[in-house]
């Protein structure tokens, strides 16, 4: 029986509505909120999931990215979940901005005390879509996913670990090789255990691309060349591209790689190129099914 959704707020925007929902998560064992944008439609809508980055909530993208006018025009629904469990009591969960609250990294934690609540991969892949399909007029066969930074990592692994689930995936300034960057090493050590490298690789987009054998997956990889985190080797998109080019799925991973001169990691960068991403997903979400 799907959980009950409570409407927290509702706002008209272009030819549609932004609705914030609250529910009791069975997976995360806490109260969660997510935002949905529903364009006006008499037919079930294709749906685009957006995963946000470190420190973000369900509000950042839907309020700041400027995506809704394009989603309204294309008649595509948008779902924006939070980035970690909320309202739980775990010692140390608020000690750092890049681990714990706001930094769930879209993995299913195996290490105590995080494993009791930090099951963000299962939430994004299983529980949240189940709620969306049960309560909202969306088409489960027409779904795509995108993300920014930590959320770009989440979007890539969600698509690569679930071949055929999403029609397309796009990322902006994604953490592409978390097992090899400081952010990822810190998060995976805490959530998955410092020595469990095989478990780490199961949540690493570069390692998953290296062994991908699924159906064709269109990918838009977007990056600003003045991104400070690119220079600090937190993102490592070149590792992902190399793995995809040399893996068994190189023909199936249809990657569009765009380096944006002069742009950084911020929402100013996202606003500038968000129309490109909506158009990219629209090409795949609005085409007829095979």
Enzyme catalytic residues: 149, 227, 265
Distance CA 258, CA 225 (A): 10
Half-sphere exposure of 17 (CA within 13 A, CB side): 10
3-class DSSP assignment, residue 157: helix
Distance CA 31, CA 144 (A): 25
Taking a C-beta distance cutoff of 8 angstroms, is the pair 123, 109 a contact?
A: no
Distance CA 105, CA 153 (A): 8
6-12 vs 16-25, strand pairing mode: antiparallel
3-class DSSP assignment, residue 104: coil
Which structure tokens are listed for 144? 């795509």
Bridge partners for 143 per DSSP: 47
Any idea what the Cα angle at residue 172 is, between residues 283 and 44, rounded to 5°?
A: 35
Residue 102: DSSP 8-state: T
Any idea what the Cα angle at residue 258 is, between residues 253 and 264, rounded to 5°?
A: 130
């Amino acid at each position: 029986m799907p959980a009950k959704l409570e409407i927290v707020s509702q706002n008209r925007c272009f030819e549609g509505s932004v609705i914030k929902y609250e529910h009791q998560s069975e997976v995360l064992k806490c109260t969660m909120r997510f935002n949905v944008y529903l364009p006006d439609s008499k037919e079930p809508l294709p749906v685009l999931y957006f995963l946000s980055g470190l420190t973000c909530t369900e509000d950042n993208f839907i309020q700041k990215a400027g995506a809704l006018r394009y989603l309204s025009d294309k008649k595509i629904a948008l779902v924006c979940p939070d980035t970690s469990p909320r309202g739980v009591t775990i010692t140390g969960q608020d000690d750092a901005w890049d681990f714990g609250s706001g930094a769930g990294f879209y993995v299913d934690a195996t290490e105590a005390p995080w494993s009791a609540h930090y099951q963000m991969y299962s939430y994004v892949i299983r529980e949240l879509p189940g709620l969306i399909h049960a309560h909202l007029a969306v088409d489960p066969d027409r779904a795509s996913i995108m993300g920014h930074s930590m959320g770009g990592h989440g979007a890539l692994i969600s698509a690569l670990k679930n071949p055929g689930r999403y029609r397309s995936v796009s990322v902006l300034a994604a953490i592409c090789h978390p097992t090899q960057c400081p952010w990822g090493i810190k998060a995976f050590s805490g959530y998955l255990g410092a020595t469990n490298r095989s478990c780490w690789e199961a949540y690493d987009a570069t390692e998953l691309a290296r062994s991908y054998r699924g159906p064709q997956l269109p990918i838009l990889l977007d990056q600003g060349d003045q991104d400070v985190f690119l220079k600090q080797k937190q993102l490592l998109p070149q590792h992902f591209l190399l793995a995809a080019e040399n893996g068994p799925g190189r023909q199936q991973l249809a990657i569009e790689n765009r380096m944006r001169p002069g742009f950084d990691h911020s929402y100013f960068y996202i606003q500038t190129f968000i129309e490109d991403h909506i158009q990219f997903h629209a090409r795949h979400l609005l085409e007829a099914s095979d």
